[in-house]
């Protein structure tokens, strides 16, 4: 056409390379990049162990009743957060409180009796010992007096016997004889009286000593009362424990997973009341085939994916490698009576410590997939 200008085709920058060759070079270069990337990914994943037979676990605490009674209150319910020592269930305490009050009144009465017996014991012991001391003193005095009067009576008897023949021969006067006889009779009478006083003093001393048995009786009463007080205190302690057991508290900081009773129900010892766990103390248990355990070590880092949180990554580390395969925990044995044997790789539980985020998203029972970096030794 005369009115239109004809554009010349652009010349290639590298005239020595044809256009088909350029396309082929680019395709080969892209393929090389893909292959290198695939090789790098395979190398990176070579020492990684991935397993989806894993789930979240926690120490589930089942709080049970230690006594029987009616449920008065249950201030928590499923999903509530509780702190250590918080009341989770309250069993009716009225009868237990009455029993404690009754035992305390009984103990107070016994303590009052004990004080009275102790006071009486002190008075009786003092008066008895004083009486014994006085009786001993009178007995000693009477015994000494008997000795003195015995000597006087003996001398008077000698004088009397010596003067008796003398008065018959008129050596001494009748008056002197009468005085000698009177003196002898008086000495003998005094000696007999002194011996009677010794006998009386001995009886009084024996009676005073006998009254020491009253002290022994009071001591026995005080001892019995002391034992009764101790027994009452032990009963009070037991009833106070039962009273405290009616206030059921959480042993940990945790979350209530399930309640098993309602107010008004009657519970018996051992019956479950509440189930809870500590959301901060969760871990993952993965059952690895025994063929994958060769390079697994404690402390190796683990990446975790949770089915409930797609796209969210969690981290942890290997905390413990089980010592027994899971088939050893089977309730029913697996005998092989036919003799036919098929070798099956067994699984070993591996515990993974999880870095639980602050919002506690991981809950017991959740299924997860773990990736253990076995390149760390």
Q: Which domains does the chain have, with CATH numbers?
A: 47-91+254-373 (2.40.30.170), 96-242 (1.10.287)
pLDDT of residue 191: 73
φ, ψ for residue 253, nearest 5 deg: -80, 120
Give me the half-sphere count of Cα atoms (radius 13 Å) on the Cβ side of residue 231. Answer: 8
Give me the half-sphere count of Cα atoms (radius 13 Å) on the Cβ side of residue 82. Answer: 29
H or E stretch covering 368:
strand 367-373
SS3 307: coil
Helix, strand, coil percentages for the chain (3-state, nearest 5): 50, 25, 30
H or E stretch covering 175:
helix 174-210
pLDDT of residue 148: 75
Rounded to whole angstroms, how far apart are CA atoms 114 and 124?
Answer: 15
pLDDT of residue 84: 95
| SS3 sequence of 125-165 | HHHHHHHHHHHHHHHHHHHHHHHHHHHHHHHHHHHHHHHHH
Rounded to whole angstroms, how far apart are CA atoms 26 and 32?
Answer: 10
pLDDT of residue 167: 61
φ, ψ for residue 198, nearest 5 deg: -65, -40
pLDDT of residue 5: 46
pLDDT of residue 257: 93
Give the Å distances, CA to CA, from 147 to 193, 213, 237, 278, 350: 12, 33, 67, 96, 105
pLDDT values of the chain reduced to their tens digit, one per residue, 377 residues: 444 444 455 544 444 445 666 766 767 666 666 666 565 555 555 678 888 889 999 999 999 999 999 999 999 999 999 999 999 999 999 999 999 999 999 999 999 999 999 898 888 878 787 777 877 878 777 777 777 767 777 776 776 677 667 666 666 666 676 677 777 767 777 777 777 777 777 777 777 777 777 788 888 999 999 999 999 999 999 999 999 999 999 999 999 999 999 999 999 999 999 999 999 999 999 988 888 888 888 989 999 999 889 989 999 999 988 776 655 555 555 655 555 655 667 788 899 999 999 989 999 999 999 999 888 66
SS3 298: coil
Q: Radius of gyration of the chain from Cα atoms?
A: 55
SS3 367: strand
Dihedral in degrees, nearest 10, Cα atoms 339, 345, 347, 348: 100
> Is residue 76 within 8 Å of 259, Cβ to Cβ?
yes
> Is residue 278 within 8 Å of 93, Cβ to Cβ?
no
Q: Is the pTM of this model over 0.75?
A: no
């Amino acid at each position: 056409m005369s009115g239109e200008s004809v554009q010349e085709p652009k010349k290639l920058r590298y005239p020595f390379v044809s256009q088909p060759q350029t396309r082929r070079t680019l395709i080969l270069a892209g393929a090389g990049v893909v292959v290198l990337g695939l090789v790098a990914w395979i190398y990176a994943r070579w020492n990684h162990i991935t397993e989806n037979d894993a789930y979240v676990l926690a120490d589930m605490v089942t709080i049970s009743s230690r006594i029987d009674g009616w449920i008065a209150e249950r201030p928590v319910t499923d999903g509530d957060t509780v702190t250590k020592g918080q009341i989770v269930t309250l069993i009716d305490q009225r009868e237990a409180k009455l029993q404690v009050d009754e035992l305390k009144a009984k103990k107070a009465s016994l303590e009052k009796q004990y004080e009275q017996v102790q006071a009486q014991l002190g008075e009786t012991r003092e008066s008895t010992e004083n009486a014994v001391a006085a009786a001993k003193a009178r007995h000693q005095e009477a015994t000494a007096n008997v000795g003195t009067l015995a000597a006087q009576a003996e001398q008077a008897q000698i004088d009397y016997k010596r003067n008796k023949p003398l008065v018959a021969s008129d050596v001494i006067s009748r008056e002197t004889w009468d005085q000698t006889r009177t003196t002898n009779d008086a000495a003998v009478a005094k000696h007999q009286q002194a011996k009677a006083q010794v006998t009386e003093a001995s009886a009084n001393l024996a009676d005073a000593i006998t009254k020491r048995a009253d002290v022994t009786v009071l001591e026995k009463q005080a001892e019995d009362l002391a034992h009764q007080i101790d027994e009452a205190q032990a009963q009070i302690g037991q009833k106070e424990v039962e009273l405290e057991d009616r206030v059921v508290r959480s042993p940990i900081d945790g979350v209530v997973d399930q309640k098993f009773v309602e107010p008004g129900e009657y519970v018996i010892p051992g019956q479950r009341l509440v189930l809870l766990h500590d959301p901060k103390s969760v871990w993952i248990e993965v059952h690895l085939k025994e063929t994958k355990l060769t390079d697994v070590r404690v402390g190796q880092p683990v990446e975790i994916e949770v089915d409930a949180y797609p796209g969210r990554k969690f981290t942890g580390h290997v905390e413990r490698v089980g010592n027994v395969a899971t088939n050893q925990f089977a309730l029913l044995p697996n005998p092989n009576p036919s003799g036919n044997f098929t070798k099956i790789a067994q699984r070993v539980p591996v515990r993974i410590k999880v870095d639980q985020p602050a919002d506690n998203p991981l809950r017991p029972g959740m299924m997860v997939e773990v990736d253990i970096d076995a390149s760390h030794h």
